[in-house]
């Protein structure tokens, strides 16, 4: 990724100055402490200026709706203090001038405002796009006194330039003019006169190629032309923000799910070990039966009794409660057997539920891994209870559909889509596919009354293999059955089904 430079910022202003001057700032929003959304209106045209002062992504652009979604902007219910300050001074204010400070990555917007005595003042909003020093500063143009900053800079951070309310606003120290690393790379191989010609141009042919952009498409071979400088900045940085947001969201959801999975696995191990150590069900039943069979010996009120174990064909000694008769001891062992049997059944039921939970967590991890869009992660966040926003119940998940031998085949990429495939899309004679013993997508082959041939079924098996968490070099069992053989148990997790009459294919 390359960073915005003075020339690109200047080109942005040249392109948008006619809209900015005379416009009114209608709405001020601050999603996080490092980004802002300003809604400007001029002659019926409304545009959202997005400003990001993150040290890794600092830039500005008028956002398109598509790129607003890519940036995953969420407006907080309670605005930050600096946002409230900007609203107090600038909301509905008119832009009288806009400029880029010479040789600096600073955009200044001048606003005409009136105080309580109806006296006119000019306030300046300085947007500084300078790496780790990026900031948004509001100050009085006449007195240069700072009203507020997105983040204050004290003497411990900068001895030359302190930034906070009440201090004088001064520009950063002037450095000897030199091209930025990005422009040096773009102008590589050109002589000074040619470089000067490019620097003085007021018409641009913006373009993007992979992780680079340029104001002059001829300087970047095989690049994709953009409609405007603004579109170039908006598209370029929004794509990086989407990748970063996607990576961060994946990491956060994976951590949450792994914690849940670890707790489940620990519970499974603990219950399994307890069952092995304390499973005396068969022993108690055997002792009760043997004591009942030996009541004739009349060995009451003894510490033990020697009997012949006819099941295992050996003599054994059974410990007794010497305060009880032999019959009462037999009843005691039957009670212990009943209690142990109940405990074992309950423990086994807990194990079954925990194994369902484990499979569910593994499916979520797989869904997180293969998600390519933030919208897909939003479904998972809602499923995990992380997304606090209300989700419309009527909103149907968008399930990927492909063609195999003229049949429609649906691929579920998360539990919400998997559940929708099974509960809404699948009909009795359709075929359902899934990998055995590993997380993966639910694959549905819509038959529409036509029985598919073996080749089509095998292609669907390969598709289930492809969209699974199984490692590529290994052979994997893929099961398939008709949709009428699927069942969703009551209170089971989203996307979980049981099946019968299945067939298995090694892929």
Q: What is the pLDDT of residues 408-436, one digit of tens each?
A: 999 998 888 899 999 999 999 999 999 98
Q: What is the pLDDT of residues 241-259, one digit of tens each?
A: 999 989 999 999 999 999 9
Quote the pLDDT of residue 103. 85
* Least confidently predicted of 42-56, 70-84, 281-295, 373-387: 373-387
* pTM greater than 0.75 (yes/no): no
Quote the CA–CA distance of 429 and 407 in Å, as a whole number.
13
**Residue 475 in contact with residue 506, Cβ under 8 Å?**
yes
Quote the pLDDT of residue 180. 66
CATH number of 6-177: 2.30.310.10
Q: What is the pLDDT of residues 127-140, one digit of tens each?
A: 999 989 999 999 99
Quote the pLDDT of residue 179. 64
Taking phi over 0 as left and psi of -120 to 50 as alpha, with beta for the rest, 82 belongs to: alpha
Domain boundaries of the chain, sorted by first residue:
6-177, 252-391, 396-506
Is a pLDDT exceeding 80 seen at residue 394? no
**Residue 234 in contact with residue 62, Cβ under 8 Å?**
yes
Number of separate helices (H) and strands (E) present in the chain: 11, 22
Mean pLDDT over residues 187-194, rounded? 81
Q: What is the pLDDT of residues 451-491, one digit of tens each?
A: 999 999 999 999 999 888 886 677 899 999 999 999 988 88
Helices (H), ranges, 55-131: 65-70, 81-90
Q: What is the pLDDT of residues 94-111, one digit of tens each?
A: 999 999 998 899 999 999
* Least confidently predicted of 5-19, 308-322, 348-362, 373-387: 373-387
Calculate the alpha carbon distances from 199 to 3, 100, 184, 203 in Å: 17, 15, 12, 11
Quote the pLDDT of residue 181. 67
Average pLDDT, the chain: 89
DSSP-derived 3-state class of residue 369: helix
Q: What percent of the chain has pLDDT over 90?
A: 57
Quote the pLDDT of residue 387. 66
């Amino acid at each position: 990724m390359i960073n915005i430079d003075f020339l690109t910022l200047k080109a942005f202003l040249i392109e948008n100055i006619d809209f900015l001057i005379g416009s009114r700032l209608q709405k001020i929003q601050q999603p996080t402490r490092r980004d802002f959304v300003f809604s400007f209106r001029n002659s019926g045209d409304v545009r959202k200026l997005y400003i990001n002062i993150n040290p890794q992504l600092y830039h500005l652009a008028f956002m398109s709706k598509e790129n607003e979604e890519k940036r995953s902007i969420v407006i907080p219910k309670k605005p930050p203090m600096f946002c409230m300050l900007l609203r107090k001074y600038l909301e509905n204010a008119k832009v009288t001038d806009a400029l880029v400070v010479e040789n600096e990555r600073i955009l200044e917007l001048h606003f005409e405002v009136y105080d309580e005595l109806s006296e006119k003042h000019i306030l300046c909003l300085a947007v500084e796009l300078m790496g780790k020093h990026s900031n948004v500063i509001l100050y009085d143009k006449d007195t240069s006194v700072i009203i507020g900053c997105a983040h204050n800079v004290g003497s411990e951070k900068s001895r030359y330039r302190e930034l906070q309310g009440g201090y004088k606003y001064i520009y950063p120290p002037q450095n000897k003019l030199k091209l930025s690393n990005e422009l040096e790379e773009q102008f590589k191989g050109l002589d000074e006169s040619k470089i000067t010609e490019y620097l003085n141009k007021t018409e641009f042919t913006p373009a993007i190629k992979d992780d680079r952009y340029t104001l002059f498409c001829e300087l970047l071979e095989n690049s994709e032309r953009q409609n405007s400088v603004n579109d170039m900045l908006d598209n370029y940085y929004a794509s990086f923000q989407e990748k970063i947001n996607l990576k961060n969201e994946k990491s956060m959801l994976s951590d949450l799910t792994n914690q849940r999975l670890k707790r489940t696995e620990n519970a499974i191990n603990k219950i399994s070990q307890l069952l092995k150590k304390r499973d005396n069900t068969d022993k108690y039943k055997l002792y009760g039966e043997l004591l009942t069979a030996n009541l004739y010996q009349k060995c009451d009120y003894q510490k033990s009794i020697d009997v012949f174990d006819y099941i295992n064909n050996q003599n054994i000694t059974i410990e007794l409660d010497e305060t009880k008769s032999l019959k009462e001891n037999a009843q005691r062992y039957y009670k212990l057997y009943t209690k142990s049997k109940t405990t074992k059944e309950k423990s086994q039921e807990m194990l079954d539920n925990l194994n369902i939970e484990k499979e569910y967590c593994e499916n979520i991890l797989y869904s997180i891994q293969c998600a390519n869009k933030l919208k897909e992660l939003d479904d998972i966040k809602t499923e995990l209870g992380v997304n606090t926003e209300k989700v419309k119940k009527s909103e149907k998940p968008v399930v990927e559909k492909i063609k195999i031998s003229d049949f429609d085949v649906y691929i579920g990429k998360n539990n919400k889509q998997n559940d929708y495939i099974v509960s809404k899309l699948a009909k009795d004679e359709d075929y359902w596919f899934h990998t055995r013993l590993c997380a993966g997508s639910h694959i549905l082959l819509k038959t529409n009354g036509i029985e598919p041939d073996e080749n089509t079924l095998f292609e669907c098996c390969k598709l289930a293999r492809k969209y699974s968490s199984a490692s590529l070099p290994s052979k994997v069992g893929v099961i398939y059955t008709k949709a009428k053989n699927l069942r969703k148990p009551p209170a089971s997790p989203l996307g979980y089904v049981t099946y019968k009459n299945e067939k298995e294919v090694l892929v």
